[in-house]
Structure 1
Amino acid sequence: MEEHGGRRVLVAGASGTIGRAAARALKEAGHDVTCVLRDSASGRESAAALVGEGCAVHFADLTDSAALAAVFAEAEPQAVMSCIASRSGSPSDARRVDYAANLALLEAAEHAGADHFILLSAICVQRPKLAFQHEKLRFEARLTDSPLAHTIVRPTAFFKSLSGQVKRVREGKPFLIFGDGELTRCKPISDADLGRYLTLCVTDPAKRDAILPIGGPGPAISLRQQGTMLCELAGREPAFKSVPPGMFTLASRVLGLAAPFSEWFAEKSEYARIAHYYATESMLLLDPATGEYSAEATPEFGTDTLRTHYERLLSETG
């Protein structure tokens, strides 16, 4: 029986900031939440916090089908939410996490009788050029073929991914941009707002069997605009240093020469390709008719703004 009208939801990836925010939002919405974590130092630390917030916690390696089956047998989830993602984006890590680990979760959910699988994907899979994007799409295809209802959420940029230069600006260094800083735009979304959006997917019928791009409150912002905002909030005149995106292409080609003979070189070559992608591609909805990114067509959700996020980070490091 469902408790207080909620559902039994199993969350994978709750040791990350987005998964943790989703678990918290699920509990606040009245759902019965079980989190499956890796048995590691970081996993144990996350477990203590999650238990303190009312979640049940189990430790299991997602590649261990027997251990995963035992977790599902005890939790009896009606819905599964996957917030896992490759940390490095390397081809081997992407295969292991973005595809294989998600597949293990899906198969466990199918065998355990769950009826809904919610996947945190990424908006960048619209124009796939990288290994991790292809692995995400490979799993998305398997998920849409599953007898379970599916919801695939493709968020734009996260606040965390736009926060790497706060310390740099605070120290008086110029804000790094690619080209003129106007090559790309995004509508970043906070962890808390994304967690709430993922929670809505559990019970909203309109979000079942759907692929849902989502951004935070607009307008879309360029890299130069991010730097201007951050500098002004830090009490400095905006100062920039331009990095040519082509340097990443050159690095990838040079490293790629040794890729057939070395996994290390193959990974470094892919990292350079990832850097070039994010330096040149917007994180907005892609219009298939025009092949252009559209800020106007990119859905918005939530109330948290990047400006408020920067203000908080600056106050913490001040």
Structure 2
Amino acid sequence: MAGGISSSRVLVAGASGTIGRAVVRQLVADGYRVTALLRSVGSGNDLPELAGADVVQAALSDRSGLERVFAAASPDCVISCIASRSGAPKDAQAIDYAANIALLAAAQAAGAGQFILLSAICVQKPLLAFQHAKLAFEAELAASGIDYAIIRPTAFFKSLSGQVKRVKAGKPFLVFGGGELTRCKPISDNDLARFIAQCIGNPETRGRILPIGGPGPAISLREQGEMLCELAGRPARFKSVSPRLFTYAERALNVGAGVSDWFAEKAEYARIARYYATESMLVLDPASGTYSADLTPEFGSETLRDHYARLLAGD
């Protein structure tokens, strides 16, 4: 087994998500007895990645229902891959914090010995609601007394793939500013799943916060565009968007945020967009206050270039 331990039963929450599916597939291949926890059983019927796992359903807000599922599964280790879909304040509080609190309580009630949390590297500079919600749960997890590991990955391949069809259609690649405002070391679903699996029962990861990226070097948005255009057989063409547009949008939406949840959510979306347009997904060097590619650990072998080539071939 990946962690080389006697524990054999693992419950994965958020198993229908992109990373959750990869984790379940990896754990089944490693020989673990896997329970895949979904919000709706029907959502797992067409997911071949969950083959070999026991697929169960429970609402994350139903603590008694979760406890029944956990009692039946009797997991040695619980892995939480849940995350707010929108990042809106209410959704972030309900999922990134409250639902994880319920999972932790159910894990402890069932006698699980370890809780592995999939967090995000961006919480190291928290300016957004979902980041504060994640950090609040990280603190609760660290104080709970259970053995834990907190995984903070950099950018996912999926999050960097939104312009593949655009470039293939001959349209320019969109960048913020000159395309050099941010850098990241993206990690593939499969490599991240292997990294998470190797944390099970691993004394070297116990009680640690683990930032992790894929194989380097760190890549800028402009370099992503150049790579994608090259692979698509298109000349590198770019269209610049100013991050200030998100600032203007936030200011306008904040006018109604105090009286309308709709305006409040849209203002938060503008803040999220500005954050990702201007902040690198790398380890933040506490000494210098700047993002550091050298301090960002690397893991795995799959590259963004390989991923882009597969997407272009499959379209």
TM-score for the superposition, normalised by structure 1: 0.96
Q: Is the 8 A contact 2:41 2:55 kept in 1?
A: no
**Which ranges of 4 or more aligned residues in structure 1 deviate by more than 3 Å?**
3-6, 43-46
Q: Deviation at 1:42?
A: 2.5
Q: Which residue of 2 aligns with 1:266?
A: 264
Give the distance between the partners of 1:245 and 1:155, measured in 2 at CA: 24
Give the distance between the partners of 1:220 and 1:24, measured in 2 at CA: 28
Q: Is the 8 A contact 1:231 1:238 kept in 2?
A: yes
Q: Which residue of 1 aligns with 2:290?
A: 292
Instruction: Please state if 1:38 is matched with 2:39.
Output: yes
Q: Is the 8 A contact 2:121 2:152 kept in 1?
A: yes
Q: Which residue of 1 aligns with 2:242?
A: 244
Q: Which residue of 2 aligns with 1:14?
A: 15
SS of the residue corresponding to residue 207 of structure 1 reads coil
Give the distance between the partners of 1:212 and 1:253, measured in 2 at CA: 35
Amino acid at match of 1:10: L
Identity of matched residues, %: 64
SS of the residue corresponding to residue 181 of structure 2 reads coil
Q: Pick from 144, 165, 168: which aligns with 2:166?
A: 168
Q: Is the 8 A contact 1:189 1:216 kept in 2?
A: yes
Q: Pick from 130, 138, 143: which aligns with 1:140?
A: 138
Q: Which residue of 2 aligns with 1:124?
A: 122
> Which runs of 5 or more structure 2 residues have no equivalent in the other structure?
none
Q: Which residue of 2 aligns with 1:302?
A: 300
SS of the residue corresponding to residue 36 of structure 2 reads strand
SS of the residue corresponding to residue 223 of structure 2 reads helix
SS of the residue corresponding to residue 85 of structure 1 reads coil
Q: Is the 8 A contact 1:117 1:148 kept in 2?
A: yes
Q: Deviation at 1:147?
A: 1.3
Q: Which residue of 1 aligns with 2:183?
A: 185
Amino acid at match of 1:293: Y
Q: Deviation at 1:60?
A: 0.6
Q: Deviation at 1:62?
A: 1.1
Q: Is the 8 A contact 1:157 1:283 kept in 2?
A: yes
Q: Report which stretch shifted further, 263-272 or 21-30.
A: 21-30
> Which runs of 5 or more structure 1 residues have no equivalent in the other structure?
none
Q: Which residue of 2 aligns with 1:235?
A: 233
Give the distance between the partners of 1:289 and 1:257, measured in 2 at CA: 38
Instruction: Please state if 1:211 is matched with 2:212.
Output: no
- Give me the CA root mean square deviation: 1.3
Q: Is the 8 A contact 1:4 1:30 kept in 2?
A: no
Q: Deviation at 1:267?
A: 0.5
